[in-house]
Structure 1
Amino acid sequence: MVKLATKLYSFEEYLTYDDGTDNKYELVNGELKVMPTASGFHALILHFIFKMLEQEIERIKQQWKVMPGIVGVRTAKTKSRIPDLVILSESQCQEIREMTTAVLESPPLLAVEIVSPGNADDDYRYKRSEYAVREIPEYWIIDPDAKKVSILLLVSGFYEATEFTEEQEIKSELFPDLKLSIKQIFEV
């Protein structure tokens, strides 16, 4: 069996890549990786978390923005990820105004990933190490199958994780007064 060579893309080629479809791609070691379409439950969780974070940002009167799956984060020379949600600082909001493709070179304040079935390694292993290297200070992993949320805080270059389940309220460093229980998230 002959294996065809996979085309490797530079970061600059990735930024301008357009195959004429509505597919979204991440760049992983130079290879384009199509992002799967979200399940209905995934989409409902995403919408709920988006609303909760947006309301909390308004309540604490910050000039941050919640961006749902449309802003990428460059995690290495030939890697770029598109988290389910990111929180942008005021200066990052200004930066993306000038970008033709919204991919951050600086770390967002928060990245949120919702685990897709059969894709847990991406969120728990690969993105975890990439986001730590990129120095994203807080990273949430929302796992619908396990019915848990992991909040990872960057400490000395590595993430320390706390898992929340059942009726527990999550504890976020970025949003210390946020009232959000695991039950609320998974009963959307």
Structure 2
Amino acid sequence: MTYTPPKVLTFAQFIADYGDNPRYELIDGELRDMEPTGPHEEVSGNIAGRIYSEILRNNFDPECNRRLNLLIPKTCLIKPPAAEATALRPDVIVLDKIKLSQEPLWQKEPIICNGNTIKLVAEVVSTNWQDDYARKVEEYAFLEIPEYWIIDFRGLGGLQFIGNPKQPTFTVCQLVNRVYQQQQYRLGDTINSNLFPNLELKLDDIMP
């Protein structure tokens, strides 16, 4: 049997061929199928909706003195500056509106190059769970993204990541000294977020 290595793409080739296709992202030149099933998209939508509601609640509550000048784009790619052939496509991304003016590609393409524009990313785990629990933990920490959520609603991750027995798990990664400190939540647990300290959220609320 002859082994055929996967085709290696540059960032420019990926944008030209797959930039508008939410099914794919690029990691080290290799095309990744994100496998966006119906339940996967339902969970992603539930997360984005809960975050957006919290942003609105803060911005329009007259008793709240903390305004959140944040944006949740429908689609968005992250181009890590140190990676020439990587284009990450988070399931949910929260951006700082003010810092978008410093993004070199934003006016023409929904692409973020500067980590400090990103306040939070969330990934809903698919069968390629290794990317979410390993590679993206490193990439997002390197970009100094303050908060990273890993929503493993089917309990797909390896035992070293979600424990034994496997079960639905919501992992919140908080950046401390450029390293993520991880806290895991199960069904019934109230999730704690530094970015949204008043957000009332449980894994149960976003399950399909």
Q: TM tier, shorter chain?
A: 0.7 to 0.9
Identity %: 29
Mapped partners of 2:145, 2:22: distance in 1: 26
- Normalized against structure 1, the TM-score is what? 0.85
d(CA) in 2 for partners of 1:122 and 1:33?
10
Counterpart residue identity of residue 110, structure 1 = L
1:52-88: CA deviations, max 9, x gaps? 10011112222211134x1011232321110000001
Q: Please, which runs of 5 or more residues in structure 1 have no aligned partner?
A: none
Per the normalisation by structure 2, the TM-score is 0.78
- Which amino acid in the other structure matches residue 46 of structure 1? S
2:112 corresponds in structure 1 to 104
Aligned counterpart for 1:165 among listed residues 186, 193, 201 = 186
Runs ≥4 residues deviating over 6 A: none
1:47 Cα deviation from its structure 2 partner: 1.5
In structure 2, the CA distance between the partners of 1:98 and 1:148, relative to structure 1 (3 Å rule), is same
The structure with the greater share of residues assigned to strand is: 1
Aligned to 1:27: 26
TM alignment of 1:8-23, pairs within 5 A: 8-18=8-18, 22=21
* 2:113 is the counterpart of 1:80: no
2:202 is the counterpart of 1:181: yes
CA distance in 1, matches of 2:47, 2:18: 30
Aligned to 2:132, what secondary structure does the other structure show? Answer: helix
Corresponding position: 1:114 with 2:124: yes
Asked if structure 2 preserves the Cα contact closer than 8 Å seen for 1:23 and 1:34, the reply is no
Aligned to 1:45: 43
Structure 1 SS opposite 2:73: strand
Q: How far apart are the structure 2 equivalents of 1:22 and 1:162?
A: 32
Give 5+ residue unaligned stretches, structure 2: 60-67, 155-166
Match of 2:53 in 1: 55
